Amino acid sequence: MNELTQGGNLPLPGGTLTLRVAGPFDVSALITDESGKVGGDADFVFYNQPTAPGARLRGDTLTVDPGRLRAGAARVTIAVSPAAPGTPLGRLPAPTLQVTDPGGRPLTRFTPPRPQRETVLLLAELYRRGTGWKLRALGQGYADGLAGVARDFGVDLAEDSTPGTASAPARGAGAAKPGTPRSPGAAGSTMTPRTPGAVTGVGNPATAARAPGPRSAPDPTGFLALANSARTDAGRPPVSLDPRLTSAAQAHVAGMAAAGQLGAESRDGVSVYQRVVQAGYSYLTIGEHLVSGPRSPAGFVEYCLRTEQPRRTLLERAFTHAGLAQAVDPRSGDIYWTALWARPLTAGNLARTAEEVVESTNAERARAGLRALAVDPLLAAAAQAHSTDMVARAFYSHTSPDGSQPWDRAAAAGSRRRTIGENIACGQRSPAQVVEGWMNSPGHRANILKPDFTHIGIGFAGGGQMGTYWTQLFGA
């Protein structure tokens, strides 16, 4: 498989190409003509507008058939942004673009130089050259989000002059707005699992055993009845309002309204996930809707039901609790909403999540003809401690702020294994997703498929900027 470097290009075969960026990112694409400008808003493909002629986005995967693009299309630019809006890309693993040909065979991959403060990266572009198409590796960053990218490519961000209503939301309000990615709980708003770690120390199995059970709260707005009616119609179990989630939602939406901007992180640097943990709710699974525009709870629910990813979050079967809050921007009069959906953490479901990571890992080893790894409680303790530490001290690295390495942490937990390996990840939404991401990275894959390893331990913690932090510790 060809490895591209920044500025490199590669001729492409005819037919449908698959472009994937695994990890805590949102993928988008802009279809432009020879002038480098879009023909209209329909040429911007992202999570709330996932299709265009010749292009389709599903999760982290974009498929493009150059021969079926709209008339006049000469270029498709692929961009990535953090799944948690406003997070600098420098806090995340470097995004890697993987391209496969129409037959499903790997064609090329490209990992750009590691970004820093940028919040959007133009990763690559497909461009027409004569009668054929080529791929060029870019790696160009933007610090002002998708709004800056959209403006440069000619996407119209102007809002309607009339405030949005439930039946006809203004662009950028109830409707998706390129400049405010992840408006109503866009791709990745369902984060599974997210076990809490920071602030209260939750994420420790001993603490999880004491996680409070369901709590109810009054529903003066009628939101709960609306949400549960939709869930019942879809065959999903009802949720109950939890005052801790409502409190976290109120704190977060107040910050968004004060800033006049949607985002998973407020100006004070506190993420919506941290607010949930600070409110005392210990969660295994969490999702969020961050929306501006609807004028009532009915309008909010109506918007979520007619938009693909927000609908998935509202109807997610795993959720058992919810919280909703709204606030008004005093300058513009815009109404901001935060809805939180969660399932509480227990010792049992925490253990099951770790088991699922082990099962997926061993399935990959079995496909490679390798023996299964056995769970080592000491490695598990070290892995859990590292995930919790990354949340508590706001870092993401194999090296702790005190300089300790994976083998140091294993030894501190009492392990005497001579060979230690470690994989870490952040932002992934399920055991299957995190293992898939590791398998798509050569270094992480090498650890999973190393024949010498015999034992494994899993840790993860929720909170922090990315919502979930995973550690996979191997030993021999």
Of the listed ranges 2-11, 13-22, 99-108, the one predicted with least confidence? 2-11
Mean pLDDT of 391-411: 89
Q: Is pLDDT at 8 greater than 90 in this prediction? A: no
Q: pLDDT per residue over 73-120, tens digit each?
A: 999 999 998 877 667 788 888 889 999 998 888 899 988 887 777 788
Asked whether the CA dihedral 147, 150, 154, 155 is positive or negative, the reply is: negative
Mean pLDDT of 428-440: 87
pTM of the predicted model as reported, rounded to 2 decimal places: 0.55
Mean pLDDT of 429-450: 89
Mean pLDDT of 188-194: 28
Q: Is pLDDT at 178 greater than 50 in this prediction? A: no
Q: Is pLDDT at 215 greater than 80 in this prediction? A: no
pLDDT at residue number 190: 28
Q: Is pLDDT at 191 greater than 80 in this prediction? A: no
d(Cα 312, Cα 307) in Å, to the nearest integer? 9
Higher pLDDT, 190 or 310: 310
Mean pLDDT of 23-42: 84
Is 414 exposed, middle or buried (CB count within 10 Å of its CB: 0-12, 13-18, 19+)?
A: exposed
Higher pLDDT, 11 or 442: 11
- Amino acid in position 338: T
pLDDT at residue number 422: 95
Mean pLDDT of 156-182: 30
d(Cα 123, Cα 134) in Å, to the nearest integer? 14
d(Cα 2, Cα 370) in Å, to the nearest integer? 28
d(Cα 344, Cα 240) in Å, to the nearest integer? 12
Higher pLDDT, 464 or 181: 464
Q: Is pLDDT at 339 greater than 90 in this prediction? A: yes
Of the listed ranges 10-24, 89-103, 140-154, the one predicted with least confidence? 140-154
> Do residues 123 and 143 make contact, with C-beta atoms less than 8 angstroms apart?
no
Higher pLDDT, 303 or 212: 303
Mean pLDDT of 389-409: 89
pLDDT at residue number 327: 94
Q: pLDDT per residue over 253-307, tens digit each?
A: 999 999 888 888 877 778 898 899 889 888 888 889 999 889 899 999 999 998 8
